[in-house]
Amino acid sequence: MKFNCLLLAITCLFISKVNAQINVCWKLISVKNYYSLGIQYNGSLWGWGKNDKRQLGDGSDQNKSLPTEVDVSKKWKLVYSGYNHTLGIKNDGSIWGWGLNDNGQLGNGTNFTKIYPVQIDNSKWKSVSTGEFHSLAIKENGTLWAWGSNEEGQLGDGTTEDKNRPVKIGNAKWKFITAGFNYSMGIQEDGTLWGWGNNEDGQLGTDKFKYSTIPVRIGYSKWKYITSGFDFTLGIQADGSLWAWGYNEFGQLGDKSNRDKDFPVRIGNSKWKMVSAGEYHSLGIQEDGTLWGWGKNTNGQVGDGTQINKNAPVLLDNSKWKTVSAGFEHSIGIHEDGSLWGWGRNDYGELGFGIEFSRNIPTQISTCQ
C-alpha cells in the first residue's frame, strides 16, 4: 500500500510538471526534418523531436517527445529549423546557431557541430531561413547575407564555394527570404521575386536555366510571402492570391495535377494569409483564418483524417488559426487562442505529445492559459 501511494504521488508530481510546461501560449513555430521548435509569448525557446545532430540545442543527442526548454534566457523572438541545423534571433537582434555544421551552415567560422546555441556575430538581424546545408538572413538594414553549402550556387555570391561565415549578397534591400533544399528565393523591398541555386525541377519559377549562382528576377509581379519545400515553392502575391511551382509528384503544388511546373501557377481564387511548404506537403491559412492542407499524406501530415495524397487544398478546420509549419512528414500549428496543435508522423516525438503515435487530424498538444 505504501508503495502504491508513493507511486501515485510521483505520478501526480510528474503530471503537474508536464502540465506546468504545456499550459502556455505559443507565439511562433518552426518544423522541418522530424523535429520542432517553438517560442512562447514569454520569449522562452522550446524544442522536441529528433535530436541526433544536436539540432534541438539542449546539449544532448537524445530525441525529445515533449517540449523541452532550450535556453533559459527567455529572450527569443525568432527561430528557424533546418534539416539538421537551427538558427534563431534574440530580442536584441543577435543571431545564434546550433546543430550540424559540416558545411559551415551555422556561420560561426567553424565546421564543428554545436550542441548549444552559439552567437554568430555582433550584427543586428531581423529574419533568417535555413535550407538543407545553407542559411540565409537579412540584417536590420535590409541587406542579404548567406553562408554554408554552395554546391549549386544557393548562396548567391556568384561562386560554388562553401562559406562558414556570412557573406553579403549584392546591395539590394530585402524583406523576405526562404532557403530550400539546395536553392534560395527572396522578395526585395519593392515586392519583386528573385531566385538562385538549383532549378532542375523548376523550383525557381523559370525554365531559362538549370541553376544560377546569383539572384535572378522571376517575373514581374509583386509578392509579399514565399516558402520553399524540398524542390517546390509556394508564394503569395500582394493581392493575396496563392501561386505554386516546381516539383509536384504528390500534388504538393495544389493545382489539381501531379505535373511539375516551371512557372508560377495560381492555386484557386481564395485570398491567403500565409503558407508553409514541407518536404512534399503544404499547409496554409486563408485570410479568414481557416486552415488548409494538401500534398503527400502517407503519415496523415495533411491533416484531413486520411492517408491519401491531395492535389488541391482541402479544408482542415474552419476556426481561426494564427500560424502553421510543415515539416518532412509532420505538421504543427498555433490556433488563434495560442494553443499548440500537431499532426502527421511522430516516430521521433516530433509532435510533442509525449507518446510516439502518429495523428491524421490536428490534435491539441497544449492549451493556452
* Cα gap 85→99, rounded to integer Å: 4
pLDDT, tens digit, 9 for 90 and up, residues 208-228: 999 999 999 999 999 999 999
Confidence of residue 367 (pLDDT cuts 50, 70, 90): confident
Higher pLDDT, 368 or 17: 368
Q: Per-residue pLDDT averaged across 111-137, rounded? A: 97
Do 87 and 75 meet the contact criterion of CB atoms below 8 Å apart? no
pLDDT at residue number 368 = 82
Binned at pLDDT 50, 70 and 90, residue 72 comes out as confident
Q: Give the Cα-Cα-Cα angle 43, 33, 39 (nearest 5 degrees).
A: 5
- Confidence band, pLDDT 50/70/90 cuts, at residue 1: very low
Nearest CA to 187 out of 137, 143, 222 is that of 222
* Digit-coded pLDDT (tens) for 333-362: 999 999 999 999 999 999 999 987 999 999
Q: Which CATH class, in words, describes the domain spanning 26-366?
A: mainly beta
Residue 234 has pLDDT above 60, yes or no: yes
For the record, the C-alpha cell of 265 comes out as: 501557377
Helix (H) or strand (E) holding 9: helix 2-22
Q: What contacts 327, CB < 8 A, 6 or more positions away?
A: 31, 32, 33, 34, 35, 36, 81, 278, 279, 301, 344, 350
C-beta of residue 122 within 8 angstroms of C-beta of residue 91: no
What is the structure's pLDDT at 21? Answer: 43
Give pLDDT, residue 369.
67
- The share of the chain scoring above pLDDT 90, in percent, equals 91
Question: Average pLDDT over the chain, rounded to whole?
Answer: 93
Please compute the mean of the pLDDT values over residues 301-317 and round it to a whole number: 98
CA 50, 53, 55, 57 torsion-angle sign: positive
Q: What is the mean predicted confidence (pLDDT) over 200-207?
A: 97
pTM summary value: 0.92
